Structure 1
Amino acid sequence: MTLPLPTPADLVPTDRMQWILERLAEEDGGLGDPTLLPAPEGRKLAEQTNRRWNTDLPEMAAKDFSVRSAEGREIACRLLTPEGASGLIVFIHGGGWAFCSMATHERAARLLALEAGAHVLIFDYRLAPEAPFPGGLNDCQAVWNAVVTGHPDLTSCSHLRALAGDSAGANLALALLLALQADGEPTPDAALLFYGVYDANFETDSYINQKDGPGLTRAKMMRYWNWYAAAPGDRLNPLVAPLQASDAQLKALPPLFLNAAAIDPLRSDTENLVRRLRSLGRTDSYSLYPGVVHGFMQMSRELPEARMAAAEAGRAFREFAES
């Protein structure tokens, strides 16, 4: 399969994307960069600015409960269940390992639930810099353990079980797959990975050509990395940077669905991961969305490509279930 690469035209925002970018510049012009604030203040700002993407929520059942970590902490969870749901997607939100929550990603998670016809489980993991690697990853593993050991609030979620995540959430989802594999633990049947961060190489094509955004920038990603995994040695760990995994580790992964935004400093991370997977003889699905920026799946109320991406991911989940 040929890897779809962006053309110069793909790096120009679509008309709708440009309208959204201009609106965001007007609405957020005086708010500043949350990654330049102390983390708690930046987190509040990220929650505030993400509220606009989480209105008009698709209707479905929602059940709140908690999962206990190995250290005894309670991890807040929400199970979203559309009518006729079959199978379970454990969705890990993005936000640079430092920002965002169930609330900032609930509309995206609900739309994925509808398109996949599946239960979707979202949850709040610990955030950097207060909890750098492996804090958030350990919380993700605790939630997955609750799934496989039959947590009472998840007993109805049988059949196919998949992980999903966007941006840093995709990083955590892929890292969790590698961790479970290394420990000989039960692994998900598949994973849906959206515009993920998979390496700490800031010299890739997209990091250079999209270094100033719009939206996510190279400098912001460097600050996120410094909060999550500051030590250079940590960044060679596949559980931090999954592109550091061996060929054998990558080859043994369950089936993956991956996508990327063309106008995104992280685009090359996904391209490089797809190249590795294909060099190993794998046939994982990959879609490139032209004319849109990092985080575009959050914008489903106003951006057609966000709805298209959710529909494609949902279709991939259903195809995994049928295979």
Structure 2
Amino acid sequence: MKLSPKNYPYNVYHSLTLNATFYKSFSTPKEQTIIYLHGGGLLYGQRDDLPEVYIRSFLEAGYHFLTLDYPLAPEAPLNDIYQEIKKGIHWFIKEYHSTLGISSNSFSLFGRSAGAYLALLLTKDAELPTPEKLISFYGYYSLEEKSFQEPNSFYKKYPIMPEKIIQKLIGKVPIATGPMETRYALYLYARQTGKWLDFLQVAEKNLPKFSLTKSDLEALPPTFIAQSKTDQDVPYQIGQMLQLSIPDSYFFTVNNLEHDFDRQPAVPEAKEAYRQLLSWLS
């Protein structure tokens, strides 16, 4: 069956319309929606980056699927990114029946990389309903992680672009779609130089506001964690800490693969990750 998603504007951030894309399950519905947040270091990426084969697997299992835009850094500071995503969740809670035509606003949050980080932050927010479950693919829970504040040895192997070229890649108005072809250079530079938090516009004194404590992690709902032991972006120890701290958690690991190991759906380990995820969800 051909997928037929529908797009809905959920808010306007300055001049930027933020959209949601909704896929209605064509199977026996479980009356639950998976809300997906994309990755890209908060600097690049777009809401439709998840391969269709994965979306189809959720729909076939009876889950509706919703993807959300968010404004990207550095055109938008992290605080604004977070607030806009929060508005997207509120939009879903309010519009699930009248706009989306479904009978329940029960949801689980699914994020990859930076999207998983946002999902973890949102889950501890007292102004939002707690998700039924949480799915973190190679995510992180704290900006106080030392390796995020210093040059990354993996990325330092590549030539460092001149800062004046990097500055030309930064727009004058907010954006929510950042193609890898142009925006990845921002992330590369940020990790090479240790300036990633500068791009997010988070002062050191505010890092705790955008991080989860051990007690925050202990209060999280059931969580599926997936990560490669050779992740070059997010230290594997972060995934281990999530597993150790979240009372009801499942940790799927792979060996000798890159950070976003599920980028190519044909990779056997990627197929197995989603097979186990769907089994865990049910």
TM range (shorter): 0.7 to 0.9
The count of aligned residue pairs is 246
Alignment partners' CA distance in 2, 1:252 and 1:82: 30
Aligned AA (1:162): S
Cα deviation code 1:165-204 (max 9, x no counterpart)? 000000000000112x3x3x32211111110022332359
Letter in 2 for 1:233: K
- CA separation of 1:192 and 1:166: change in aligned 2, threshold 3 A: same
| Residue in structure 2 matching 1:187, options 99, 106, 130 | 130
Gaps of 5+ in 1: 1-57, 319-323
Using a 3 Å threshold, how does the CA distance of structure 1 residues 298 and 157 change in structure 2: closer, same or farther?
farther
Q: For 1:60 and 1:221, how far apart are their aligned partners in 2?
A: 42
Q: What does residue 42 of structure 2 align with?
A: 97
1:108 deviates by: 6.4
- Residues 157 and 299 from structure 1, CA distance in 2 versus in 1: closer, same or farther, beyond 3 angstroms? farther
Write out aligned runs for 1:203-214 (5 A). 203=147
* 8 Å contact kept, 2:78–2:202: no
User: 1:79·1:121 contact (CA, 8 Å) conserved in 2?
Assistant: yes
1:154 aligns with 2:100: yes
Compute the TM-score of the two structures, normalised by the length of structure 1. Answer: 0.66
Give a deviation string over 1:128-153, Cα, whole Å, max 9, x none.
00111112211211111122223433
User: CA 1:210–1:270 in 2, change beyond 3 Å: closer, same or farther?
Assistant: farther
The CA deviation at 1:100 is 0.4
* Structure 1 residues 197 and 224: CA distance shift in structure 2, 3 A: farther
Q: Can you list the C-alpha shifts for 1:36-86, whole angstroms capped at 9, x where unaligned?
A: xxxxxxxxxxxxxxxxxxxxxx84231111113698964211112342143
Partner Cα separation in structure 2 for residue 125 and residue 109 of structure 1? 21
Out of 88, 106, 115, the residue aligned to residue 169 of structure 1 is 115
Q: CA deviation at 1:283?
A: 2.9
- How far, CA to CA, are the matches of 1:154 and 1:223 in structure 2? 40
1:226 aligned partner: 198
Q: Determine helix, strand or coil for the equivalent of 1:76.
A: strand
Question: Unaligned regions of 5+ residues in structure 2, if any?
Answer: 159-183
CA distance in 1, matches of 2:7, 2:85: 17
Moved more, 168-177 or 83-92: 83-92
Letter in 2 for 1:165: G
Match of 1:42 in 2: none
Deviation, structure 1 residue 254 = 1.6
State yes or no: 1:142 paired with 2:87: yes
CA distance in 2 between partners of 1:101 and 1:108 (Å) = 17
Q: Between Structure 1 and Structure 2, which shows a larger proportion of helix residues?
A: 1
Structure 1 partner of 2:274: 310
Counterpart code for 1:89:
I
Distance in 2, matches of 1:198 and 1:222, equals 18
Equivalent in the alignment of 1:133: 78
Matched-pair identity in %: 22
- Superposition RMSD in Å: 3.1
Task: Indicate conservation of the 8 Å contact 1:198/1:270, yes or no.
Answer: no
2:240 pairs with 1:275: no
Q: 2:262 is matched with which residue?
A: 297
